[in-house]
A and B are shown apart, each in its own frame.
Chain A
Amino acid sequence: MNGYVGTPTSRVDGRAKVTGAAKYAGEFTADRLVHGFVVEATIPRGRIAQLDTSEALKVAGVLDVLTHANRPSLADKDDAWKDEVAPEGSPFRPLYDDTIKFNGQPIALVVAEEWATAKFAATLVRIDYEQAEFATDLEAERGGASEMDKPHKPRGDAAGALAAAALRHEADYLIPTEHHNPMELYATTTVWEGDGKLTVYDKTQGVQNVQKFLCGVFDKKPEDIRVLSPYVGGAFGSGLRPQYQVVLATLAALALKRSVRVVLTRQQMYGLGYRPMTIERVALGAKSDGTLDAVTHEAIAVTSRYEDFARNDTGWAEQLYSSPNSSFSHKLVHLDVSTPSDMRAPGAASGVCALECAMDELAVALNLDPIELRLKCYSDRDQSENLPYTSKQLRQCYARGAEAFGWGRRDPAPRSMRDGKELVGWGMATGVWEALQMPVAVRIVLTSNGHAEVSCAASDIGTGTYTIVAQVAADALGLPIENISVRLADSTLPQAPVEGGSWMAASSAHAVLGAAEDIRQELARHAQAMPSSPLAGVDAQDIILAEGTIAKAGERGRAISIADAMRYGKLERIEKQKLNEFPEDKSHARNTHSAVFAEVKVDEELGVIRVTRVVSAVAAGRILNTKTGRSQIMGGVVWGIGMALHEETVMDHRFGRIMNANIAEYHIPVNADVHDIDVIFVDEPDTHINKLGVKGLGEIGIVGVPAAIANAVYHATGKRIRRFPITLDKLLG
């Protein structure tokens, strides 16, 4: 099979998206739909002493104000509130009781005939609080950090080796709180179908996760709740767990026995999850020849008081470079904030940023080219597990990236390169992520007119799942892609986990292959049973589906049209559903890698930084779609620019409240901030990882980018900024 896979096929849902036809969660409608508006707490910790809704209820068009005091029943056990990806702890329950756990916590829902009416009435809800002592400042509370009991595998004697190192570099790098800010506002439209049955259009990365969660929270039978999210306007991890608006919309629908839509405001979305602020402490010890002798990495991160959210920040330093001595630890500080959540390349975006800045600092101290240092401690085995990789073409990433960037022309001395009034800096960094794969089921319905419908509960959050599923199905069934229709993100469809972790491409593609193989076998059987079949006697394994026919491989003349075979078998349709599970195999490490090169230009007087060029060379196995794949990497690079230079959620710790909860003051890169981005996919054949050799691209694009830019800023200016984002005040300061 080879036709669409590996090509720059345009997005199959492109037309729907450019014409405005694609419908997102808050755009579905229903008879007598009403609108909910959330009232949030304005203190970070305490309890609601009094909540007066009487004035709000007097607004014409207001139907109800739901609070903890008058809501319908909600589950009272933590288990019911734990979704598929919940961390350890006791999940937040909206409108459950009078306790306030974080600023921005939803405490009431005003429901009205029109959205603007609900919004106005929400301003009339009066709340008196009993405020408790609180803490929201990670750096101030650093001393109270507690160690996570995750398995860390120390090697040798890191402390001793560091003390004895010929050259040592040790520093804290600070990654601030960052919010996902998907362009689509969080929204749910819960449609009251009568008899307590609900259809829920939700902004989520996992419809089945939300469906199970709602059944638990509202004590419903699976057949009573159906969840859909056919299009998701970005999520980046913020939609992995069910968000509170889905609970509120559903609660209101049950209370009013009407269809309800709840759309959060941009400001309210700052009360959801975020990338946790983390102090990343990295120490590197080198021998005088530039080989690493010791690596230690300690992460100290924020979590809420009610859940232990921790991601793998330090495992990359553990795995990536060869070093005989190393130790790692991950600590959490529990504060009066909402629980953090996964955000693109969780753990890696932060942890690798620190590691790769530290490697650059070490290279400077050793007077080594940064690539040379990385090659000196290059490892063909996963250092933490001492396992070979299924494939690792990182050397090629360095080589091809450096060549495309023109790295060889770099003068290593800081402040040595200029362009008029601007200082020019070139920096590089390594990126790494995991190549995960999960069980996914797919159903294919082939009809005798040569059309196939492929369906699966997986979400497409803009990653291109619709398109790659169509490509793989078209190739496997030997049909033109126009004949394939793809249905996704409906909880009644075959099983899929949340879309995240870069696992969906490999997982969904192989599920399609599995179902298509069953279809091939059935078609082959019918074709061979036909009178005077040209395929009579052919080994079933040599029968392929190609160009709408059932044919002998390598002998296309021996073929029968799918339509004829199905007519002979008296079949209007063939339906096959298959769950694909990857065999457990602990013999190899599975990772994607990248080498990122960045050029910055810094105005010497004003400190303004521009990222003028980025080359990202990625080794991620086989690329299913070079067009959408390139977009994913570009998106990661743009986000990396934001992480390096712009993004920071700023909190006023006197009030425990976010001060820039909007997208004018929370800065992200705009078109004018983004210049040349060159994406290179390095050839990385991988026959071990899975049949297609696919590894996934969702996260790897961002990892390494912030460090490459920070290193470029150092090269341009001679200033090492270790508190992100690197803003001009820090450069001038």
Chain B
Amino acid sequence: MGDVTHELPDRIPTRLVINGVSHTLDLLPWTTLLDALRDHLALTGTKKGCDHGQCGACTVLIDGRRVNSCLTLAVMKDSAEITTIEGLAKDGALHPLQQAFIDHDAFQCGYCTPGQICSAAGLLAEGRARDADQIRELMSGNL
């Protein structure tokens, strides 16, 4: 193509620890954690439904807390412990939430499901929900 006059900013070496495995990526500073997972690491279990923090499909656990990865720049999470849907099952055994989602058919197309499950895992860790209504309220960031 013609002359390049819009140079891209310098790439930033970033160490992402995902599901216990360390990856070092050279990322443009604007790369979201979501795009780093999906486009750079082929971890496509984390979904993009809006890219604007409106749907929760991109929910992952960062240091145990649920976070919208589309609103998180990857470079900000250097060395943080990130768990995605791919990391919830241990040694081939599903996480109890994953099994419960299958048993109760808590999904159809499955696209919001990884976000729902990661969010539910975060919710359980928070320990705030006491009844079904509180669970509904605290799961309402996941469409």
Expressed in whole angstroms, the minimum distance between the Cβ of A133 and any Cβ of chain B is: 34
Beta-carbon contact of A672 and B55 below 8 Å: no
Expressed in whole angstroms, the minimum distance between the Cβ of A210 and any Cβ of chain B is: 18
* Given A234-B111, A671-B142, A674-B136; A20-B84 close (CB under 8 Å): yes
Residue of A27, A63, A462 with most partner-chain B CB within 10 A: A27
The residue on A at minimum CB distance from B85 is: A20
The residue on B at minimum CB distance from A676 is: B132
Binary CB contact string for chain A from 41 to 65 against chain B (1 if under 8 A, 0 otherwise): 0000000000000110111111110
Tell me the residues in window 482-530 of chain A with beta carbons closer than 8 Å to chain B beta carbons: none
Beta-carbon contact of A183 and B47 below 8 Å: yes
Residue of A18, A24, A64, A121 with most partner-chain B CB within 10 A: A18
Expressed in whole angstroms, the minimum distance between the Cβ of B66 and any Cβ of chain A is: 14
Query: Does A663 lie at the interface of the complex (its beta carbon under 8 Å from any beta carbon of B)?
Result: yes
Beta-carbon contact of A58 and B6 below 8 Å: yes
Expressed in whole angstroms, the minimum distance between the Cβ of B108 and any Cβ of chain A is: 4
Beta-carbon contact of B103 and A117 below 8 Å: no
Beta-carbon contact of B108 and A60 below 8 Å: no
Query: Does B21 lie at the interface of the complex (its beta carbon under 8 Å from any beta carbon of A)?
Result: no
The residue on B at minimum CB distance from A24 is: B111
* Given A183-B55, A671-B136; A57-B50 close (CB under 8 Å): no
Query: Does A627 lie at the interface of the complex (its beta carbon under 8 Å from any beta carbon of B)?
Result: yes
Beta-carbon contact of B6 and A59 below 8 Å: yes
Partner of A266, one of B31, B51, B89, B135: B51
Binary CB contact string for chain B from 31 to 59 against chain A (1 if under 8 A, 0 otherwise): 10001001100111111111110110100
Beta-carbon contact of A20 and B114 below 8 Å: yes
Given the complex of chains A and B, what is the CA–CA distance between A632 and B114 in angstroms? 19
Beta-carbon contact of A17 and B2 below 8 Å: no
The residues of A that contact B35 with a CB separation of less than 8 Å are 115-116
Binary CB contact string for chain B from 15 to 39 against chain A (1 if under 8 A, 0 otherwise): 0000000000000101100010011
* Given A182-B109, A183-B109, A668-B143; A114-B117 close (CB under 8 Å): no
* Given A15-B102, A54-B2; A462-B143 close (CB under 8 Å): no
The residue on B at minimum CB distance from A663 is: B54
Beta-carbon contact of A664 and B48 below 8 Å: no
The residues of A that contact B142 with a CB separation of less than 8 Å are 670-671
Given the complex of chains A and B, what is the CA–CA distance between A11 and B105 in angstroms? 7
Query: Does A231 lie at the interface of the complex (its beta carbon under 8 Å from any beta carbon of B)?
Result: yes
Partner of A631, one of B84, B85, B108: B108
The residues of A that contact B102 with a CB separation of less than 8 Å are 10-11, 14-15, 18
The residue on A at minimum CB distance from B9 is: A60
Expressed in whole angstroms, the minimum distance between the Cβ of A169 and any Cβ of chain B is: 37
The residues of A that contact B136 with a CB separation of less than 8 Å are 671-672, 674-675
Residue of A182, A233, A631 with most partner-chain B CB within 10 A: A233
The residues of A that contact B111 with a CB separation of less than 8 Å are 24, 182-184, 233-234, 462
Partner of A670, one of B110, B113, B143: B143
Beta-carbon contact of A17 and B1 below 8 Å: no
Beta-carbon contact of B140 and A670 below 8 Å: yes
Tell me the residues in window 92-133 of chain B with beta carbons closer than 8 Å to chain A beta carbons: 94, 98, 101-103, 105, 107-114, 117, 133
The residue on A at minimum CB distance from B107 is: A17
Beta-carbon contact of B105 and A627 below 8 Å: yes
Query: Does B78 lie at the interface of the complex (its beta carbon under 8 Å from any beta carbon of A)?
Result: no
Beta-carbon contact of A631 and B52 below 8 Å: no
The residue on A at minimum CB distance from B88 is: A19
The residues of B that contact A670 with a CB separation of less than 8 Å are 140-143
Expressed in whole angstroms, the minimum distance between the Cβ of B117 and any Cβ of chain A is: 6
Beta-carbon contact of B110 and A55 below 8 Å: no
Query: Does A604 lie at the interface of the complex (its beta carbon under 8 Å from any beta carbon of B)?
Result: no
Query: Does A23 lie at the interface of the complex (its beta carbon under 8 Å from any beta carbon of B)?
Result: yes
Expressed in whole angstroms, the minimum distance between the Cβ of B73 and any Cβ of chain A is: 11
The residues of A that contact B89 with a CB separation of less than 8 Å are 19
Contact size range, A: 35 or more
* Given A18-B94, A18-B98, A184-B109; A266-B38 close (CB under 8 Å): no
Given the complex of chains A and B, what is the CA–CA distance between A55 and B89 in angstroms? 47
Query: Does A635 lie at the interface of the complex (its beta carbon under 8 Å from any beta carbon of B)?
Result: yes
Query: Does A469 lie at the interface of the complex (its beta carbon under 8 Å from any beta carbon of B)?
Result: no
* Given A11-B105, A662-B52, A670-B143; A60-B44 close (CB under 8 Å): no
Query: Does A464 lie at the interface of the complex (its beta carbon under 8 Å from any beta carbon of B)?
Result: yes
Beta-carbon contact of A60 and B94 below 8 Å: no
Partner of B109, one of A55, A185, A234: A234
Beta-carbon contact of A19 and B85 below 8 Å: yes
Beta-carbon contact of B50 and A17 below 8 Å: no
Query: Does A386 lie at the interface of the complex (its beta carbon under 8 Å from any beta carbon of B)?
Result: no
Given the complex of chains A and B, what is the CA–CA distance between A182 and B55 in angstroms? 11
Query: Does A29 lie at the interface of the complex (its beta carbon under 8 Å from any beta carbon of B)?
Result: yes
Given the complex of chains A and B, what is the CA–CA distance between A61 and B5 in angstroms? 11
Query: Does A461 lie at the interface of the complex (its beta carbon under 8 Å from any beta carbon of B)?
Result: yes
Beta-carbon contact of B45 and A19 below 8 Å: yes
Partner of A62, one of B1, B55, B117, B135: B1
Partner of A10, one of B55, B105, B141: B105
Query: Does B137 lie at the interface of the complex (its beta carbon under 8 Å from any beta carbon of A)?
Result: yes
Partner of B143, one of A17, A117, A632, A663: A663
* Given A20-B45, A23-B44, A265-B51; A628-B105 close (CB under 8 Å): yes
Query: Does A168 lie at the interface of the complex (its beta carbon under 8 Å from any beta carbon of B)?
Result: no
The residue on B at minimum CB distance from A14 is: B102
The residues of B that contact A13 with a CB separation of less than 8 Å are 110
Query: Does A562 lie at the interface of the complex (its beta carbon under 8 Å from any beta carbon of B)?
Result: no
Query: Does B3 lie at the interface of the complex (its beta carbon under 8 Å from any beta carbon of A)?
Result: yes
Query: Does A82 lie at the interface of the complex (its beta carbon under 8 Å from any beta carbon of B)?
Result: no
The residues of A that contact B91 with a CB separation of less than 8 Å are none
The residues of A that contact B117 with a CB separation of less than 8 Å are 18
Residue of B2, B55, B84, B137 with most partner-chain A CB within 10 A: B55
Given the complex of chains A and B, what is the CA–CA distance between A668 and B56 in angstroms? 14
* Given A57-B2, A668-B143; A27-B107 close (CB under 8 Å): no
The residue on A at minimum CB distance from B44 is: A27
Query: Does A591 lie at the interface of the complex (its beta carbon under 8 Å from any beta carbon of B)?
Result: no
The residues of A that contact B63 with a CB separation of less than 8 Å are none
Beta-carbon contact of A117 and B8 below 8 Å: yes
Given the complex of chains A and B, what is the CA–CA distance between A60 and B4 in angstroms? 6
Beta-carbon contact of A17 and B39 below 8 Å: no
Given the complex of chains A and B, what is the CA–CA distance between A184 and B55 in angstroms? 11
The residue on B at minimum CB distance from A261 is: B39
Beta-carbon contact of B110 and A17 below 8 Å: yes
The residues of B that contact A10 with a CB separation of less than 8 Å are 102-103, 105
The residues of A that contact B55 with a CB separation of less than 8 Å are 183, 663
Given the complex of chains A and B, what is the CA–CA distance between A662 and B42 in angstroms? 26
Beta-carbon contact of B30 and A116 below 8 Å: yes
Residue of B46, B52, B89, B110 with most partner-chain A CB within 10 A: B110
Beta-carbon contact of B1 and A116 below 8 Å: no
Query: Does A232 lie at the interface of the complex (its beta carbon under 8 Å from any beta carbon of B)?
Result: yes
Tell me the residues in window 637-678 of chain A with beta carbons closer than 8 Å to chain B beta carbons: 662-664, 668, 670-675
The residue on B at minimum CB distance from A629 is: B105
The residues of B that contact A14 with a CB separation of less than 8 Å are 101-102, 105, 107
Beta-carbon contact of A630 and B105 below 8 Å: yes
* Given A10-B105, A632-B108, A663-B55; A58-B140 close (CB under 8 Å): no
Interface residues of B (CB under 8 A from A): 1-8, 28, 30-31, 35, 38-39, 42-52, 54-55, 57, 84-86, 88-89, 94, 98, 101-103, 105, 107-114, 117, 133, 135-137, 139-143
A–B complex contacts, Cβ < 8 Å, 17 sampled: A11-B105, A14-B107, A18-B117, A19-B85, A19-B94, A20-B86, A58-B6, A62-B1, A115-B39, A184-B49, A233-B110, A266-B54, A627-B105, A663-B55, A670-B142, A671-B139, A675-B136
- Interchain residue pairs A-B with the least CB separation, the first 7: A20-B45, A462-B109, A233-B111, A17-B110, A462-B108, A20-B85, A27-B44
Further contacts, 4 of them, CB under 8 A, given A184-B49, A627-B105: A18-B107, A18-B114, A233-B109, A663-B50
